[in-house]
Amino acid sequence: MAKKINLGIIGLGFIGKVHLRNCLSLKSANVVAVADVSKKALKYARELGVKRLFTDYHELLKQPDVDAVVISLPTYLHAPCAIGAAEEGKHIFLEKPLARNPEEGKKIISATRKHNVKLMIGYPLRYLIDIINLKKRIEDGELGDIQTAYAVNIGVGPFTHRAEGTIPSPVPEWWMNKESTGGGALLDLGSHMVNLLRWYLGEIRDIKVFIGYRYNLDVEDYAISIVNFISGTTATIDVGWFSQETAISIELHGTVGHASVVHRSQNRVITAIKLILGKTSKFFKPYLEELSHFVDCIKRDDDPLTSGDDALRDLEIIARAYNNSLILTNQNDYSPISS
Amino acid sequence: MVDLLSLVGLIECKDRNVNSVKEAVKEALKLIDYSFPKTKRIVIKPNMCYYWDYSTGQTTDPNFVAALIEMFREEISPDVEISIVESDASAMKCKYAFKYLGYEKLAKKYRVNLVNLSEAESETAQVKVKDEVFEFLIPKVIKNADLRVNVPKMKYMAFTKISCALKNIFGCNPYPKKFKYHPKLDEVIVALNKVMPFDLHFLDGLIVCGSKTLKLGLIMASQDPVAMDAAAATIMSVNPKSVGHIMLARKEGLGNLSFKIKGADLNYFKAKYPKKGLSEKIVAFGYRVVCALGLDKRLI
């Protein structure tokens, strides 16, 4: 029987818990340890059967039997934790965005190269079957030349609700601080869509973005980008943290035909039942697929589809977009000042 | 127990423009024969349950509060001191809610105080409800106010059936980890209303969230929180007698269950309100069961 990969999960926030549940269901991996500053989060992991629990991730990185780590920490901790993991010889699955800025991203990639460990970035949409099928249709020329494309990723952002429902959950403090996040909706959700469109349409020549502040946050809570690809396609990327309902979609218009993919939340009741049973909801299925791919890459010594270099390119494009941004403020009648 | 009739004024207001709301609120106060008292300090308690703004129907519209501020300054005195108050909750922090929901802008424009009750000066007070003594911290800003104004939303709630005037005062308790009160929610809601009675209640029903979000265009005014809640429950097709905290508040002498509607037709709003269907009631029941079994932690 082939050796199972021993995983350590670092960070048990909202998405970290999704990763933990998914990792526990992988047949080719064991979850041997978790790390989180919250004792409540560690208790959650213990109830799911994880034995080794750490409040300091450095302790987890020192565990000799841990082959790889899944890092879902606040963005400002991506670089120190990933570099630390590389130095300890652990393969790394790192939540997107790669880092707060390209400079930090380059340091992570350099460390993984130096220590010869794999680096995969969490871009779950790339592992969604409908998204993969659409890639094949593009490559087969079914749609002709893609002239225009529309990518949308709008939802709650950090204002996560339990079970995609309506019971409010606390928002971790780090989300409220630009220094910790590196950016707002454009970095958080735009990184998904930039990555996906680059996969479909090739490299980006130019990007301009309008960024807005409906909720008066320190970072933008919505952004609309206009993107010009070297292939000649023009696309818009519409991202936001302002809606209670999640909408993720891709729409492509080619010289031969049109195609679209919509990824939406499943029924709340079904989602809640699955979560209570410790299963993955349909919405989070691609998150399971990506971790399965990560473990397979380690076992087969393959390069991950969503690599660090790929994510660095996304980060560079988003950094360029921020530099080319037009800021929209007080543009709606939301403010009480408008009477 | 014989109820007297409390007056509840209903006005339809189709937009959220500050002037429109102000005129509608003044009209609603005329309907309930309200005369403005001599006042130096006013406290306004909106409903800020989370970081969702007015457009979701879950939190009080800052324009509504702006309309009240303008009205009090016109009708009482331009120099009246006004404080907008809210407290931290398990999932919400005032320092962010004030900013994200537009209240910082409001406070700056109207030069009013924005007070996080969880950080404000408070003193201990005891109150008896149903032969049980409860102890709370009472913020001085509320205790020392001459006029206390409550601006709730109307919502369905899993544990209290509805949330309106009485439930909104739950947010005047400075203690942030409010889930600790859930086992005795009805008693605690009534105790807080008893120890911090509010004088005037305005329901912001401009946008409501029932089974869906809807522009209802309703403004309700009353001096009686029990009557307001009974009227709101009726609009939501919930029998007020089935709501524990309404009945307990009535028993404790906080108001009358019977109300007399003046102004617009209550049935018009009742017909329009997005009521819960059977499936939503089953989901709410299921959620209560999940919580009772301690399985709600898995929903995160």
Q: Shortest Cα distance from B49 to chain A (angstroms)?
A: 8
Nearest to A215 among B19, B91, B100 (CB): B100
| A276–B298 CB contact, under 8 Å | yes
Region B189-204: mean pLDDT is: 98
Specify whether A182 is located in the same domain as A93: no
Q: Based on the fold, state whether residues A119 and A140 are members of the same structural domain.
A: no
Of A100, A123, A146, the last residue of a domain is: A123
For residue A167, pLDDT beyond 80: no
Q: What's the pLDDT at B151?
A: 98
Residues B139-161: what's their mean pLDDT? Answer: 95
* Tens digit of each residue's pLDDT (9 = 90 or more) over B23-79: 999 999 999 999 999 999 999 999 998 888 999 999 999 999 999 999 999 999 999
Among A167, A176, A336, the residue with its CB nearest the CB of B96 is: A176
Which residue does chain A place closest to B279, by CA atoms?
A269
The CA-atom distances, in angstroms, between B127 and each of B45, B136, B142, B252 are 21, 8, 16, 11
Q: How far apart are CA B282 and CA A273, in angstroms?
A: 14
> Does residue A196 surpass a pLDDT of 60?
yes
Q: What is the pLDDT of residues B108-130, one digit of tens each?
A: 999 999 999 999 999 999 999 99
What total of structural domains would you count in chain A?
2
Backbone angles phi, psi at A69, to 5 degrees: -125, 150
Extended beta strands in B65-117, E state: 81-86, 113-116
Given a cut of 70, whether residue A193 has pLDDT beyond it is yes
A79, part of any domain: yes
Contacts of B106 in chain A (CB under 8 A): 336
**Cβ separation of A169 and B91 shorter than 8 Å?**
yes
Q: Which amino acid is at A106?
A: K
Same domain, A118 and A141: no
Q: Which of B18, B96, B296 sits opposite A339 (nearest CB)?
A: B18
When computed from its CA atoms, the radius of gyration of chain B, rounded to whole angstroms, is: 18
Chain A partners of B287 at a C-beta cutoff of 8 Å? 167, 272
Question: Are residues A81 and A139 located together in one domain of the fold?
Answer: no
Question: ipTM of the assembly?
Answer: 0.87
Q: What does the pLDDT average to over B203-211?
A: 95
**pLDDT band with cut points at 50, 70 and 90 for residue A119:** very high
Chain A residue closest in CA terms to B88: A170
Both A130 and A267 in one domain: the answer is yes
pLDDT, mean over chain A: 91
Is residue A337's pLDDT more than 70? Answer: no
Residue A327 has pLDDT above 80, yes or no: no
Report which residue type is found at A24. L
What residue numbers bound the domain in which A215 lies? 125-333
| A149 & A263 share domain | yes
| Residue A186 lies inside a defined structural domain of this protein | yes
Residues of B in contact with A272 (CB under 8 A): 286-287, 290, 299
Residue in A162, A216, A244 closest to B299 by CB: A162
Same domain, A164 and A282: yes
**Residue with structure tokens 């429109």?**
B20
Q: Is A12 on the interface with B (CB under 8 A)?
A: no
**What's the full length of chain B, in residues?**
300
Mean pLDDT (whole number) for A131-136: 97
Last residue of a domain, one of A123, A143, A177: A123
| CA gap B211, B155 in Å, rounded | 9
Report the residue of B48, B52, B74, B279 to disrupt the A interface, i.e. the one with the largest count of A CBs within 10 Å: B52
The answer to the question of residue A338 being in a domain is no
Residues A76 and A141 in one domain: no
Q: Nearest-CA residue of chain A relative to B67?
A: A339
- A69-94 confidence digits (pLDDT tens): 999 999 999 999 999 999 999 999 99
Chain A residue nearest residue B100, CA to CA: A215
d(CA B204, CA B149) in angstroms, rounded, equals 12
Q: For residue A264, what pLDDT band results from cuts at 50, 70 and 90?
A: confident
Cα–Cα distance, B263 to B271 (Å, whole number):
16
Per-residue model confidence (pLDDT) at position A273 = 79
Q: Give residue B45's region: left, alpha or beta (phi > 0; psi -120 to 50).
A: beta
Nearest CA in chain B to A43: B297
Place of tokens 């009750």: B117
Residue A318 within any structural domain of the chain: yes
Instruction: Tell whether A165 is within 8 A of chain B (Cβ).
Output: yes
Q: Tell whether A168 is covered by a domain.
A: yes
Contact B51 A215 (CB under 8 A): yes
**CA nearest neighbour of B117 among B166, B154, B83, B69:** B83
A2-37: pLDDT as tens digits: 789 999 999 999 899 999 999 999 999 999 999 999
User: Does A220 share its domain with A303?
Assistant: yes
Tell whether A163 lies on the interface with B, counting CB pairs under 8 A.
Answer: yes
A-B CB pairs within 8 A amount to 79
pLDDT of A195: 98
Q: Is there a single domain that holds both residue A136 and residue A278?
A: yes
pLDDT-derived band at A162, boundaries 50, 70, 90:
very low
Calculate mean pLDDT across residues A276-288: 82
Q: Decide if A208 is inside a domain.
A: yes
Pick from A69, A100, A123: which residue ends a domain?
A123
A42 contacts on B by Cβ (under 8 Å): none
Of A217, A275, A336, the CB nearest to B100: A217
Pick the residue of A216, A219, A332 with the most B CBs within 10 A to test the interface with B by mutation.
A216
List of chain B residues whose C-beta atoms are within 8 Å of the C-beta of residue A171 = 51, 91, 96
Nearest to A44 among B50, B104, B297 (CB): B297
Helix H, strand E, coil C: the string for B223-236 is CCHHHHHHHHHHHC
Please tell me the distance from the alpha carbon of residue A292 to that of residue A302, in angstroms, as a whole number.
13
Residues, chain A: 339
Q: Which of B17, B102, B109 is facing A216, going by the closest CB pair?
A: B102
Min CA distance, B253 vs chain A (Å)?
32
CATH number of the domain that A247 lies in? 3.30.360.10
pLDDT tens for residues B242-268? 999 999 999 999 999 999 999 999 999
Instruction: Please indicate whether, in this complex, the C-beta atoms of B50 and A159 are within 8 angstroms of each other.
Output: yes
Q: What is the CATH number for A30?
A: 3.40.50.720
Residues A275 and A226 in one domain: yes
What is the share, in percent, of chain A residues with pLDDT greater than 90? 77
How close B109 gets to chain A, by Cα (Å)? Answer: 7
Tell me whether residue A317 is in a domain.
Answer: yes
B299–A167 C-beta distance less than 8 A? yes
Name chain B contacts of A44, Cβ cutoff 8 Å. Answer: 297, 300
pLDDT band at residue B158 using 50, 70 and 90 as cut-offs: confident
Query: pLDDT at position B298, please?
Result: 67
Interface check for A49 against chain B (CB to CB < 8 A): the answer is: no
Residue A335, pLDDT score? 47
Helix (H) / strand (E) containing A44: helix A39-47
Q: What are phi and psi of A327, to 5 degrees?
A: -95, 130
Q: In the beta sheet, which residues pair with residue A252?
A: A149, A259
- At A256, is the pLDDT very low, low, confident or very high (cuts 50, 70, 90)? very high
Q: Which residue of A has its CA nearest to B19?
A: A339
Q: Are residues A217 and A151 in the same domain?
A: yes
User: Reduced to 3 states, what is the DSSP secondary structure of residue A50?
Assistant: coil
- CB–CB of A162 and B300 under 8 A? yes
